[in-house]
């Protein structure tokens, strides 16, 4: 890695912007994610910032078991997040459909539709676990940027 790549690697790891997408979750996981921003957990220390628009984001945090209504939204929002990007599945719902498995309106699990990089299991997961998941996602993001450049993926 040359100096510029090292700088970019560090900056990507230190500045993950999140976009939170609810695909029909019971709101348990959403509340736990928002808890991470509160004074008790204070994820701003890690440079984590919850963004309003998927275009600004690096990490897509998805909660919920992917209902039929939200499937198109998941694909659209995933496409709107600019590369390099990482997907974090929060809770047991996106991983396995959890208690909603077998329902005719559920299209999950999430990995059937978009690639998932980090799973944070739990129903709902503890905020500490969520923070660890996001920190790991930030590391993956930084490494991915470097490996894509090495593979010759066009950078523009």
Partner 1 sequence: MNLSGLIHFFLFPGILFAVPAGWFYMWGERKAVARMQRRIGLPLLQPFYDFVKLLGKRTPSRHGIEADLLRLWPALSVLSMLGAIAMLPVFHDGKGFSGDAVLLVAFLEMPSICFILAGFTSGSIYGEIGAIREAILSVANNLVFLLSIVTIAVTENTFRLSDLSGGTWNPGHWIGVFGILLCIPAKLRLNPFSTSSAEQEIYSGPLTEYAGAALAMWELAHGLEWVALTGFVTTLVVPAGGPWWFHAIAFFVVSFIQVMLLSTVAAATARFTLQRAIRFYWQWAAILAVLVICSTIYMRVR
- C-alpha to C-alpha distance for 9 and 28, rounded to whole angstroms: 33
Residue (of 103, 109, 123) closest to 74 by Cα position: 109
Judge residue 52's burial from the number of C-beta atoms within 10 Å of its C-beta, 0-12 exposed, 13-18 middle, 19 or more buried.
exposed
Greatest CA separation found in the chain? 52
Of 1, 6, 31, 55, the residue at the interface with partner 1 (CB under 8 A) is 55
| Nearer to partner 1 (CB atom), residue 65 or residue 84 | 84
Q: Taking CB under 6 A as the rule, which mask of x and - marks residues 70-89 in contact with ligand SF4?
A: --------------------
23 is an interface residue for ligand SF4 by CB under 6 A:
no
- C-alpha to C-alpha distance for 43 and 97, rounded to whole angstroms: 27
83 is an interface residue for partner 1 by CB under 8 A:
yes
Please choose, out of 7-15, 24-32, 60-68, 107-115, the segment that lies near partner 1 by the rule CB under 8 A: 7-15
63 is an interface residue for ligand SF4 by CB under 6 A:
yes
Q: Nearest approach, Cβ of 58 to ligand SF4 (angstroms)?
A: 23
| Nearer to partner 1 (CB atom), residue 53 or residue 103 | 53
Distances (CA, A) of 108 to 1, 29, 32, 71, 98: 39, 16, 21, 9, 10
Of 56, 68, 112, 126, the residue at the interface with partner 1 (CB under 8 A) is 56
Of 12, 16, 21, 25, the residue at the interface with ligand SF4 (CB under 6 A) is 25
Query: Coil, strand or helix: which one is 12?
Result: helix
Answer positive or negative: Cα dihedral of 108, 98, 58, 80.
positive
Binding site for ligand SF4 (CB under 6 A): 25-26, 28-29, 63-64, 91-93, 98-99, 123-124
């Amino acid at each position: 890695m040359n100096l510029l790549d090292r700088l970019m690697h560090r900056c990507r790891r230190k500045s993950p912007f999140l976009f939170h997408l609810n695909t029909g979750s019971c709101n348990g996981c959403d509340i736990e994610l928002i808890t991470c921003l509160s004074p008790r957990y204070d994820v701003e220390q890690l440079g984590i910032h919850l963004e309003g628009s998927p275009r600004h984001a690096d990490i897509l945090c998805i909660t919920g078991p992917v209902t039929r209504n939200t499937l198109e939204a998941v694909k659209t929002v995933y496409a709107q997040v600019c590369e390099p990007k990482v997907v974090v599945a929060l809770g047991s719902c996106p991983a396995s459909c959890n208690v909603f498995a077998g329902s005719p309106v559920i299209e999950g699990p999430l990995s059937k539709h978009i690639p998932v990089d980090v799973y944070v299991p739990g129903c709902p997961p503890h905020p500490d676990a969520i923070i660890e998941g996001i920190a790991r996602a930030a590391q993956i993001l930084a490494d991915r940027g470097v490996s894509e450049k090495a593979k010759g993926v066009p950078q523009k």
